[in-house]
């Protein structure tokens, strides 16, 4: 009997011990699950916070380099024509891409009126084709007819790479004298003063003779050498030789004139000519603006064999329309050709309204590109910045560019410049050289 009771007690003790062990295990498992859930919740919250910060917290804006500076070195007012000839100087430690310039005719308050230099300014912003180097000078003429007179000018330099950055810490304001209707400066070309519209003392402008080498200038006509560069008269560089195969070359230096005098373009609704990569460029802002020729056929732009077309383009926006042509012939029953910027940003080469090439790369906004198409024995090759980006075979010939209506820069929101057409197939090495020269701001044919 005692033995049975002892066995029962042992069995109960073991059961209680087992129950305690099970309860402890369950508690440990519960605590483990809780810890895992806490870690997961913390991880999810961390990911959410990171995503929020990445999307909604402002990133630091790019800033100008410390030490960038530009100043007015000299100025001459022509109150009769309401123009002011300003000599700027880079007084800082870095090259300058451009600047914003404003004026005022009041003694108090800020200068808010944008000064415009015809053909140079884009609004109140002056974009420089070549950066203004340290210590270099630049002459520009600005109009102020709406102000009547000028009492002060404010200048703010900017940096322009992928984005335009205004230099907030480099703004300067300078008081201006003798720019009102009572300050006409007749002067002479022998009074040892810089007056009238002279670019330097007693030289340059419309009244005086040309300036010597090293003297200040604003345009080529101000110099005896006939060459003004970076604000000073310099020895004119050798004129690059133009190849005999060049048929037409539209540089858009304020007009649609063909440099070879053969196929001048009439300007249809062009907005303006602005600083381009090489001199000025044709500025086209919407779908109703383009350059075109007259309806008179141009036999020298009808090709039964090899040809080459090249151009510089700069997009403000990727085309939203399907008719953004760098150059195209539009006609009825006649074969036509077109070099087009697609809505994807890629370059398309069209013949008889059929796309025969599409570039492997797409153009980006805010960047200059050299585009070329070469036909060699009915083999078309498309180039972007001197590199092959597509090829195809033309199944038929001839190609007409001037049989009916030739359009240049049609419906392109941006700039078109240096459009050239040849009656031969340029070599790939020639295309690369032209691309390198143009993107460096030089003539296609520079050595």
| pLDDT tier, 185 (very low <50, low <70, confident <90, very high otherwise) | very low
Cβ(127)–Cβ(160) under 8 Å?
yes
Residue 217 has pLDDT above 80, yes or no: yes
d(C-alpha 66, C-alpha 229), whole Å = 27
Element (H, E) at 75: strand 70-78
Burial of 445 per CB tally in 10 Å (0-12, 13-18, 19+): middle
Q: Dump pLDDT digits (tens) for 119-160.
A: 677 777 888 877 888 888 888 888 887 777 888 999 999 887
pLDDT of residue 316: 87
- Beta strands 272-275; 280-284: pairing state: antiparallel
Helices (H), 309-442: 428-439
CATH label, 70-175, candidates 3.40.50, 2.60.40, 3.30.110, 1.10.3470: 2.60.40
| pLDDT tier, 386 (very low <50, low <70, confident <90, very high otherwise) | very high
Average pLDDT, stretch 34-40? 75
pLDDT of residue 404: 67
DSSP per position, 404-435: SEEEEEET-SEEEEEEEEESS---HHHHHHHH
- If one compares 66 and 25, the residue with the highest pLDDT of the two is 66
Q: Which residues contact 78 (CB under 8 A, 6 or more apart)?
A: 84, 85, 185, 196, 197
Sign of CA dihedral 47, 50, 54, 57: positive
Highest mean pLDDT among 22-26, 317-321, 418-422: 418-422
Residue 43: what are its φ and ψ, rounded to 5°?
Answer: -65, -45
Look at residues 99, 195, 101 and name the one whose alpha carbon lies nearest to residue 143: 101
Quick count: other Cβ atoms within 10 Å of Cβ 215?
20
Element (H, E) at 35: helix 2-56
CA atoms within 13 A on the CB side of 235: 2
- If one compares 260 and 17, the residue with the highest pLDDT of the two is 260
Cβ(419)–Cβ(311) under 8 Å?
yes
Strand stretches in 184-268, DSSP E: 228-229, 232-233, 246-250, 266-268
Residue 4: what are its φ and ψ, rounded to 5°?
Answer: -65, -45
d(C-alpha 258, C-alpha 219), whole Å = 22
SS3 state of residue 131: strand
- Distance spanning both ends of the chain, measured CA to CA: 122
Look at residues 398, 243, 262 and name the one whose alpha carbon lies nearest to residue 310: 243
d(C-alpha 75, C-alpha 30), whole Å = 84
Domain ranges of the chain: 70-175, 188-237, 246-439
- Give the strand order in the sheet containing 137-143: 70-78, 83-90, 137-143
Look at residues 335, 336, 305 and name the one whose alpha carbon lies nearest to residue 424: 305
pLDDT of residue 254: 76
Residue 319 has pLDDT above 90, yes or no: no
For the domain spanning 246-439, the CATH number is 2.60.120.200
Residue 427: what are its φ and ψ, rounded to 5°?
Answer: -70, 160
């Amino acid at each position: 009997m005692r033995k049975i009771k002892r066995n029962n007690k042992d069995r109960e003790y073991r059961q209680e011990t087992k129950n305690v062990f099970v309860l402890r295990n369950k508690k440990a498992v519960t605590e483990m699950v809780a810890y895992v859930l806490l870690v997961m919740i913390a991880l999810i919250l961390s990911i959410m916070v990171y995503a929020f910060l990445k999307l909604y917290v402002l990133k630091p804006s790019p800033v100008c380099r410390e030490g960038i500076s530009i100043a007015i070195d000299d100025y001459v007012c022509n109150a009769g024509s309401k123009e002011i000839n300003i000599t700027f100087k880079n007084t800082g430690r870095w090259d300058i891409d451009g600047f914003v310039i404003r004026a005022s005719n009041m003694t108090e308050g800020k200068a808010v009126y944008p000064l415009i230099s015809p053909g140079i300014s884009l609004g109140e912003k002056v974009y420089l084709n070549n950066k203004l180097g340290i210590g270099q000078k630049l002459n520009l003429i600005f109009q102020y007819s709406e102000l009547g007179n000028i009492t002060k000018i404010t200048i703010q330099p900017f940096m322009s790479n992928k984005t335009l950055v205004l230099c907030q810490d480099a703004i300067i304001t300078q008081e201006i004298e003798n720019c009102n209707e009572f300050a006409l400066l007749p002067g002479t070309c022998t009074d040892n003063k810089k007056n009238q519209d002279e670019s330097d003392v007693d030289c340059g402008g419309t009244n005086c003779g040309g300036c010597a080498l090293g003297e200040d200038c604003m345009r080529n006509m101000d110099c005896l050498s006939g060459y003004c560069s970076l604000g000073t008269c310099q020895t004119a560089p050798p004129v690059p030789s133009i190849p005999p195969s060049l048929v037409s070359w539209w540089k858009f230096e304020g007009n649609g004139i063909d440099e070879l005098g053969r196929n001048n373009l009439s300007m249809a609704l062009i907005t303006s000519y602005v600083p381009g990569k090489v001199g000025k460029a044709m500025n086209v802002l919407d779908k109703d603006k383009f350059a075109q020729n007259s309806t008179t056929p141009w036999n020298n732009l009808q090709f039964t064999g090899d040809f080459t077309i090249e151009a510089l383009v700069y997009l403000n926006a990727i085309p939203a329309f399907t008719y953004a042509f760098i150059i195209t012939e539009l006609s009825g029953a006649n074969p036509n050709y077109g070099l087009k910027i697609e809505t994807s940003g890629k370059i398309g080469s069209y013949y008889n309204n059929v796309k025969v090439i599409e570039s492997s790369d797409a153009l980006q906004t805010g960047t200059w590109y050299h585009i070329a198409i070469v036909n060699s024995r009915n083999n078309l090759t498309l180039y972007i910045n001197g590199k092959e980006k597509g090829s195809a075979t033309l199944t038929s010939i001839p190609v007409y560019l001037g049989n009916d209506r030739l359009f240049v820069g049609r419906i392109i929101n941006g700039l078109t410049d240096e459009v050239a057409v040849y009656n031969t197939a340029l070599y790939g090495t020639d295309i690369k050289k032209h691309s390198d020269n143009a993107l460096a701001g030089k003539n296609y044919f520079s050595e």
